[in-house]
Amino acid sequence: MSELAVRMAQAGGPEVMVLASVVLADPGPGEVRIRHVACGLNYIDIYHRSGAYPLPTPTGLGMEGSGVVEAVGPEVTHLAVGDRVAYASQPAGAYATARVMPARCVVRLPEFLSFEQGAAMMLKGLTVQYLLRKTLPQDGLQSGDFILFHAAAGGVGLIACQWAKALGLQLIATAGSDDKCALALRHGAAFAINYQRENFADRVREITGGAGVKVVYDSVGATTWEGSLASLRPFGLMVSFGSASGAVPPIALSALAGKALYLTRPSIFVHLSSQAATQAMADDLFEVVRSGAVSIEVENRYALKEVQQAHREMESRRTTGSGVLLV
């Protein structure tokens, strides 16, 4: 069976991605074949394409998608042919008209969600789920607590703004323009800081009356690292879950000692290591969307053949919210 898929022979700029014909085998044990309707666009795809997160080449790209199950391999019991599904999963390869993949990270897509929403929400929404629900400071998070969330106008950030508000948290958003700050505020952020105009660490101390925040969720990396540490209160938690501005340089553990800070570098795919864990996280995400507390808005749509343009616009940070490739 021949399908179209985005492939790259080596790491590099957007130009290394080409649309190629690939042959799909039947699904093996623990696998399913999915006919895609939409594929999610995420910053991790840029890390993979650029080589920041190296993949063996040649390779496909993309970690998120939605569609319909068209074949089920042995040992798969939770899915059937014809199911509407969505996923966030390794290995890379979602940028395709169809794919064969492990079934453990594939879940049924509720009828109240469109395929576009499914493709736009799984990796981003499950990331927010493990951050706000599982990656917590020493004494947890309670209603009224301050948290700092960088890149708050992106797909992950806008979900986080809404979910944090539903949990009663005071999310302090950072973004790179006044328009992006306004977008974060409209989605539930309690405060927003344009880090192009203000020192965000100084502003955080002002907002919190000098106390600092319990936790920083940072997907930006190198350029926000020092300010993030400075924004934490004693015994605070630094969560580094991405490096859009470049990798955080090696640090001395003594840098954490002054305020007895905690540091973690989590990964969504550790959380999605089993079908039961994936389903439980997805159920939590689907419920917060079904309740209306979180809205999944698809802001950017591209045809599969426009993948290079999609990456250029993502990488330039001209986009806000979530984007999809339509198959």
Q: For the purposes of burial, counting CB atoms within 10 Å of the CB of 153, is it exposed (0-12), middle (13-18) or buried (19 or more)?
A: buried
pLDDT tens-place string over residues 273-327: 899 999 999 999 999 999 999 999 998 999 999 999 999 999 887 777 789 999 9
Q: How confident is the model at residue 167 (pLDDT cuts 50, 70, 90)?
A: very high
**232: burial class by Cβ within 10 Å (0-12, 13-18, 19+)?**
buried
- Give CA–CA dist 259/94, Å, rounded: 42
**What does the pLDDT read at residue 162?**
98
Residues linked to residue 322 through DSSP beta bridges, in sequence order: 298
> What secondary structure does DSSP assign to 170-181, as a single string?
EEEEEESSHHHH
pLDDT of 111: 97
d(CA 303, CA 321): 18
Q: What pLDDT was estimated at residue 215?
A: 98
**Average confidence score pLDDT of the chain:** 96
For residue 208, what are its two tokens? Answer: 């919190």
pLDDT of residue 124: 96
Backbone angles phi, psi at 91, to 5 degrees: -80, 170
Beta strands per DSSP E along 59-162: 59-60, 64-72, 84-88, 98-102, 106-108, 146-149
The domains of the chain, with CATH numbers, are 2-124+272-326 (3.90.180.10), 136-265 (3.40.50.720)
Average pLDDT of the segment spanning 15-29: 96
Range with the poorest average pLDDT among 22-26, 39-43, 242-246, 273-277: 242-246
Determine what percent of the chain is predicted with pLDDT higher than 70: 100
